[in-house]
A and B are shown apart, each in its own frame.
Chain A
Amino acid sequence: MARITLEQIRHSYLSAPSGDADWALKQIDLEWADGGAYALLGPSGCGKTTLLNIISGLVRPSRGQVRFDGADVTGLDPVDRHVAQVFQFPVIYDTMTVHGNLAFPLRNRAMPPDAVDARVREVAGMLDLQDKLSRRASRLTADEKQKISLGRGLVRSDVNVIMFDEPLTVIDPHMKWVLRSKLKELHREFGVTMIYVTHDQTEALTFADTVVVMYDGAVVQVGTPVELFERPRHTFVGHFIGSPGMNVLPCTVDGAEAVFDGVPIPIAGDDDSDSDDAGSGPARAARVARPRLSPSGAGGTSGLELGVRPEFVCFSDDGFAVEVTKVDDVGRYRIVDIRRGSHLMKMVVGENDTIPSENPRIRFDPAHTRVYADGWLVAPREAER
C-alpha cells in the first residue's frame, strides 16, 4: 500500500496542445493518503477517467509526476505499479471459472498453486462467491461479474490502490445498494486505498471519506462529503452535489449582511469552519490553485451571489414572502418550488412538516448561507484569505 502523490499533472490527448481547451487535465496537484476511501466526482468529460488512468499507468501524463510513497512511478506500467482496476462494464475471462478468474492475477505472478487456492477461497468468502467458484464466469449476473472484477484486485497482497471506474453503471438499483455497502465493508476490512470515479453524487458521497470534485479538467474542491455539502467552495459544487442542487441567487453585500431582492439575509460563520482548514494534504493542495471555471449552469458566475441549499430553507413567519408554485412528493420529503419575483428557488420539506396554505414566508438558515463572488466562495470565509 502506498501514499499517492500527483505533482503538476497536465494531460492532453493531442500531440501539440496549444490553447487551454486542448488540455484534458489542466493542472492537478493532489495527495492521496494510504488506506483512504476516495471518490473522483464530476460530470462526463471533466477528466476524471483520464486522471484515474494516469494513476493506474494506463495513460502517461503529458506533464508532471506520479509518485507512490515518494518514488516516481510516472514511467512504470500498470503491472509494475501494483494497482487494480474495476471497469464500468464487467471484465470477465469467459473461458475460465470463477475460481480461474480470481486466481488469474496470482498465477500470472507465479504464486504456488496451494497458496493461490487458499487466497482465492478466502477472497471468494468475503465476496459471497464461495458457492460459485466452479461456475463458468460468463454465466453470472452483472453484479456477480463486477464482484469478480473487484476480487481479482483483492486477491493480490501487493496492491497499492484499487480503482473503480463507474462500477455500478450496469447494476440494478436494488443491487447497487448491496454492492456499495459491500465495497465500503471491504475497504474497512482490507484497509487498501480505494479511488472511485463516478458522476453519481450518491455513490461518491456514501462511499468516500474524501471526495475530489472535478470540472473541466481541474479540481474544484476536495473535502469530506459533509464539507462539500455544507460549504461548497464554488457554485458548481453547490449545484452538482445535493439533489436538488443549491439555490444560487443574485445579491449585494451590506456589511455583515447579504441583501437579496431587497431582503436582508443574515450570514453567520459556523463554528467548525477552522477545523476543516487544517485538514488533510489534498484539501490544502487544492485550495492553492483556483482554476477558472466557465459558466456552470448553476446561474451566472459574474458578480455576487447567495447560495443556500434547499435543505436549509424553511417556512417561518418572520421570514420574507414568497409564492409556492409546485410541490413534488418524493416520499421521504417534498420538494417545494418557490418564487419571489423572477427568482426561482427550491426547498425541502420533511414528511411530518406542513406547508402553509396562505401567505407563505421563508427564511434561510444563517449558518448555512454562503456568498459567492464570480462563483467562488467569499463569505463566511472572507477572513481566512
Chain B
Amino acid sequence: MSTRTVNHRAWWLVAPVVVLVAFNALIPMMTVVNYSFQETFGDNVFFFEGFKWYEQVLTSERFHASFVRQIIFTGVILAIEIPLGVAIALTMPRRGPWVSVCLVLMALPLLIPWNVVGAMWNIFALPEIGLLGRTVNAMGIAYNFTQDPASAWITTVVMDVWHWTSLVVLLAYAGLCSIPDAYYQAAKIDGASAWAVFRHIELPKMKRVLTIAILLRFMDSFMIYTEPFVLTGGGPGNTTTFLSIDLVKAALGQFDLGPAAAMSLVYFLIVLLVCYVFFTAVMRGEER
C-alpha cells in the first residue's frame, strides 16, 4: 500500500540543498536578469533599458541563424543517437562474462573530458596529418573541416555521436535488463516476431529510460559549447556557431553584457519550455 507521511521537519533536510541552489543558480541567474534590463559602460554605472535588449536579440538575424543551426544540430544528433543507442543496447549480451567488457567499452567515451574530445577530433580529422582526415581524402573525397562547412558539420555531428551515444546505450541497456524473462518466453510462445517483441515488450519497458535519455541529450546538445569550440571554433565562418558559442562571443568577445544577458535568458527559457512540453506529453501518454 502506498501512503504518504506528512512531516514538516523534512524541510530541514532539504534546507542545505535550497541554500546551495540559491548560491549556484538563483543568485547568478538574478544577476543575469538584472543585466538584461540595463546598459553599462563600465565603472559599475548602469542605465535602465527595459525590454530593449530582448527586442534586439529576438529580431537579430545573427540570433535567428544560430538558433536554427542549433535546432538542426540537436534534431540530427537525437535522430542518430537515440535509435543507434537502442540498437546497440539490443545487441549487447544480457548475461555472461561479456557484459562487463561491453559496459566498460561503452563507458569509455563518457570518461573523456569534453575539451579533450574536441582536441582529439581536431587532430584526428586534420586533412594533412589526422588519421581520419588523410584517409577520407585519400579515398578521393574532398574533406577539410576547417574550410568546408559541410565537412565541419559532419565532423561535429560524428564527434557528438561518438561521444554521447554510449549514454543512450547504457540507459537503454538498464531498461532492457529490467524486463523479466517470462515476457520473452511468453512472446516466444505467442509466436511474436522479433519486431513485435521490440514494439510490444522492449520499447514500452524502455519508455521511461528513453524519456530521460532524450531529455538529457536534448539539453546537453542544446547547450553544447566546448567540443565544437575546440574543434572548429564555430567556423568556418559562422557555420558551426551554435547558440552558446554565439552567446560567449557576444558577452566576452564584444563585452555586450546587456544583450548577452537577454540572450542567455531567452535561451534558458527555450530549453525549459521544450523540456516541459516534452516531459508532460510523455507523462500524459503514460497515464492514458
Q: Give A contacts to B, CB under 8 Å.
A: 56, 58, 77-79, 83-85, 87-89, 91, 93-96, 104-105, 108-109, 136, 149, 152-153
Contact = CB atoms under 8 A, between A and B. Distances in A.
Contacts of A95: 199-200, 204
Nearest to A109: B191
A108 B191 contact: yes
B188 A108 contact: no
| Minimum-distance CB pairs A-B, first 3 | A108-B191, A87-B182, A91-B186
The majority secondary structure among interface residues of chain B is helix
Contacts of A77: 188
A78 B182 contact: no
Contacts of A93: 200-201, 204
Contacts of A153: 189
Contact of A85 (B185, B196, B201, B205): B185
Contact of A94 (B189, B190, B204): B204
Contact of A108 (B183, B185, B190, B201): B190
B186 A108 contact: no
A91 B183 contact: yes
B180 interface: yes
A364 B175 CA distance: 60
15 contacts: A77-B188, A78-B185, A78-B189, A79-B189, A83-B189, A84-B189, A89-B180, A91-B182, A93-B200, A93-B204, A94-B204, A96-B200, A108-B192, A109-B191, A152-B190
B204 A87 contact: no
Contacts of A56: 185, 189
Given A104-B200, A108-B193, 13 more contacts: A79-B189, A85-B185, A85-B186, A87-B182, A88-B182, A89-B180, A91-B183, A94-B205, A95-B204, A104-B190, A105-B190, A108-B191, A149-B186
Interface of B: 180, 182-183, 185-186, 188-193, 196, 199-201, 204-205, 288
A148 to B, nearest CB: 11
A108 B192 CA distance: 6
Contacts of B185: 56, 58, 78, 85, 87
A83 B205 CA distance: 25
A118 B105 CA distance: 52
A146 to B, nearest CB: 12
A327 to B, nearest CB: 36
Contacts of A96: 200
Contacts of A104: 190, 192, 196, 200
A108 B204 contact: no
A58 B185 CA distance: 7
A58 B191 contact: no
B95 to A, nearest CB: 13
A85 B184 CA distance: 12
A73 B193 CA distance: 21
B190 A87 contact: no
Contact of B191 (A79, A87, A149): A79
A100 to B, nearest CB: 9
A85 B199 CA distance: 21
A192 to B, nearest CB: 14
B199 to A, nearest CB: 8
A260 B183 CA distance: 54
Contacts of B192: 104, 108
Nearest to B185: A58
B127 to A, nearest CB: 49
Nearest to A159: B189
Contacts of A88: 182
A69 B234 CA distance: 73
A96 B201 CA distance: 10
A85 B189 contact: yes
A159 to B, nearest CB: 10
Most buried by A among B182, B186, B189: B189
B204 A89 contact: no
A138 to B, nearest CB: 9
A15 to B, nearest CB: 13
Nearest to B196: A108
A149 B190 CA distance: 10
A105 B192 CA distance: 7
